[in-house]
Amino acid sequence: MEHIQEIRSLRKRLEESIRTNEKLRRQLERQEPDSDRDKQKENEKLRESLSRKTANLEHLQQELACVRGENVRLQREVGETERHSQQLLQELRDSRSELSRVQEEAKWRQQLLSQNDKLLQSLRVELRVYEKLDEEHRTPRASGAEALRDGWQGQGALADLHGLLTEVQALRAQLETSIETNRALQSKLEEQLAKGGREAQEAALASALQTLPTAERPLGLDRQDDDTCPVTVENSYDLFDSTAAVPPTSASEAPSLSVNDVDSLSCVSISSATSIPCMSGLVPGRHLWASKSGCHVLGMIEDYDALCKQIGQGQKLLAEMDIQIQEAPSPTGRELETKGLRSAPLGRFVTAVNTAKLTLEEAARLLTLLWRVSLPTNGQCTLHCEQTGETEAEITKLHKKLFEQEKKLQNTMKLLQLSKHQEKVIFDQLVVTHKILRKARGNLELRPGGAHPGTSSPSRPGS
């Protein structure tokens, strides 16, 4: 009976454990779908978030590619703009050099025209002298005592007239020689400028000046004292493309003058020599800015004032000579028979010619003390400044735009790095969630196995 009761009690306990196991199994079956649904929902949310981050990342990568392409295009535009500005600057320099060359050519032609005008004036004076001589030879001579009395005056006037004619011929020859010299020097300068060698240029021009005769070189005043300044001819080709209009002559070519003429000429030469101080000389550092195509002249103010004074004296002398020529009456036959030729006007004219020659010599000497230079300037012309300002403004605008694009690119890179960091954080969270889910699944799988030994453990002490 005791065994039967014990068996019945064991059977009851077994039935209770079976019911407990069934209850736990049903409870586990109810809990598993709920946990699976929660895990699935969480996984779906994480997948949606990951897909959104991936889409944002792709969009940011596309924007980054667009910004890089825009940056490359802007850099290319900046390079093209700089090349275009350099091309415009080169064209401006070329046009400026061409303009300076044309101005030099126009100046040289103007000088040549003035020399031709002076030559024409000398030819007119010579023609008038020849006309007077012709009228004198065709006029019948007076007979007797009147011819004997007026012969001496006629001989003196004739000698003065011959001296004047000789002087005019010498001046005309010098003017023609000066024109030829100018042409030769102009051709040499053009050749040397085409070659582009400054040292070869100076050597060729120096040799050309040395090969000229002594009468063609610009000399100082005749019979100067020791305290007067010598004439420097080494820089005569550095000022203009041609030499002075009328080069001076040597003392041997001067005609013989009377005592009064010599006194007047000596006074003029002394006054002209003392009017120029001896401090005139070469300007220091003249080779720094010396240029054949320069638009400025460098020299001392004393030389410039003396040159202006000599030019004013020469103009005054030429005006007086022109008035004397115009007011000179044409001699009639009666006047030649009674009075002969007047020697006083001819003497004054010869004096004026020699004074003009000395004035031209001094002006040529002063002209050699000036240098043609090209001064350095920041803004060459208004148009160039405007174009440079517009180009700089455009370059500044492009630089600003490029800076903005770079700033946007940096912001995009920061956003991209931030999205990568967020993606990494999400991935880490997914890994942690996956580990938690695996652990929970393991725990759920181990629960039924742990409940079964618990139900059978009370049977051991009873046995």
Name the strand (E) or helix (H) holding 372. Answer: strand 371-373
Whether residue 153 sits in one domain with residue 11: no
pTM greater than the 0.85 cutoff: no
Same domain, 358 and 415: no
Residue 431 lies in a domain: yes
Distance CA 171, CA 223 (A): 20
| Final residue before a domain boundary, out of 376, 393, 419 | 376
Best CA proximity match to 274, nearest among 318, 352, 221: 221
Of 331, 356, 376, the domain-final residue:
376
Count Cα atoms within 13 angstroms, Cβ side, for 47.
6
Residue 207 covered by a domain: yes
- Sequence-distant (6+) residues with CB within 8 A of 307 are 363, 366, 367, 370
Query: Which pLDDT score is estimated for 216?
Result: 38
pLDDT given at position 388: 67
User: Is 117 part of a structural domain of the chain?
Assistant: no
Q: What range does the domain containing 298 cover?
A: 139-376
> Could you read off the pLDDT of 412-460 as tens digits, one per residue?
888 888 878 887 888 888 888 888 888 877 777 776 554 444 444 444 4
Task: Characterize the bridge pairing of strands 296-298 and 371-373.
Answer: antiparallel
Domain count for the chain: 2
At 227-240, the pLDDT tens digits run 333 333 333 333 33
**265 and 325 assigned to the same domain:** yes
pLDDT in tens, 134-165: 776 676 554 444 544 554 445 555 566 666 66
Q: Are residues 10 and 52 in the same domain?
A: yes
Report if residue 90 sits inside a domain. no
Among 111-120, 142-151, 186-195, name the one with the lowest average pLDDT: 142-151
Q: Do 325 and 234 fall within a single domain?
A: yes
Residues 367 and 418 in one domain: no
The better pLDDT of the pair 229, 352 is held by 352
Residue 296 lies in a domain: yes
Q: In 177-305, at which residue ranges do the beta strands (DSSP E only) sit? A: 296-298
Question: 292 and 238, same structural domain?
Answer: yes
Q: Does a structural domain hold residue 389?
A: no
- Report pLDDT for 49: 86
For the segment 356-369, what is each residue's pLDDT rounded down to a tens digit?
A: 888 888 888 888 87
Bridge partner list, 279: none
Tell me whether residue 385 is in a domain: no
Residues 57 and 191 in one domain: no
Q: Are residues 176 and 228 in the same domain?
A: yes
Whether 40 has a pLDDT exceeding 80, the answer reads yes
Q: Is the pLDDT of residue 393 over 60?
A: yes
What is the per-residue pLDDT for 140? 54
Q: Are residues 414 and 325 in the same domain?
A: no
Higher-pLDDT residue of 225 and 88 is 88
Residue 391, domain member (yes or no): no
Question: Half-sphere exposure (CA, 13 Å, Cβ side) for 173?
Answer: 10
> Do residues 227 and 313 both lie within one domain?
yes
C-alpha 150/C-alpha 39 separation (Å) is: 152
Residues 418 and 372 in one domain: no
